């Protein structure tokens, strides 16, 4: 099973949402984890709500530091914010990295999270489909 890391700065909104979405969409093909370069230590309530509404929430989700999962041999790293793209660490083994940036919804209305969910469905799934096809 392929291992994918979604990397963001705070690991509270975008990366958690992407983790839930991709685990739901590629359930038996991939194992997706998320982490932050400077994790907030909490999951945004609206991110959790959108994941719950779309049956993509997992009670094991939490805001974690990249160091907590650094020993996993990821096949793909997707950065979802510019900060994580700029500070993405060097991994022990060569790993493909791509950037699919999204606006930070933190502090905004729930409607922004709904729009982000739709955008992630469109853009992230396409990128991961391409990765699977070319692996």
Active-site positions read 8, 81, 88
Instruction: Identify whether the C-beta of residue 54 lies closer than 8 Å to the C-beta of residue 121.
Output: no
Select from 86, 87, 115, 89 the least CA-distant residue to 102: 115
Supply φ then ψ for residue 131, to 5 degrees.
-60, -45
- Give the C-alpha separation, 83 to 46, whole Å: 21
């Amino acid at each position: 099973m392929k291992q994918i890391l979604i990397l963001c700065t705070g690991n509270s909104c975008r990366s958690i949402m992407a983790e839930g979405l991709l685990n739901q969409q590629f359930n038996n093909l991939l194992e997706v984890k998320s982490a932050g370069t400077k994790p907030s230590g909490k999951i945004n309530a609206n991110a959790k709500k959108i994941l719950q509404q779309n049956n993509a929430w997992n009670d094991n989700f939490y805001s974690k530091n990249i160091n907590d999962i650094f020993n996993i041999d990821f096949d793909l790293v997707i950065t979802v914010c510019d900060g994580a793209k700029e500070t993405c660490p060097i991994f022990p083994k060569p790993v493909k990295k791509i950037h699919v940036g999204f606006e930070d919804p933190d502090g905004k209305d729930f409607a922004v999270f709904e729009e982000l969910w739709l955008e992630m469905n469109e853009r992230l799934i396409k990128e991961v489909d391409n990765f699977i096809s070319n692996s």
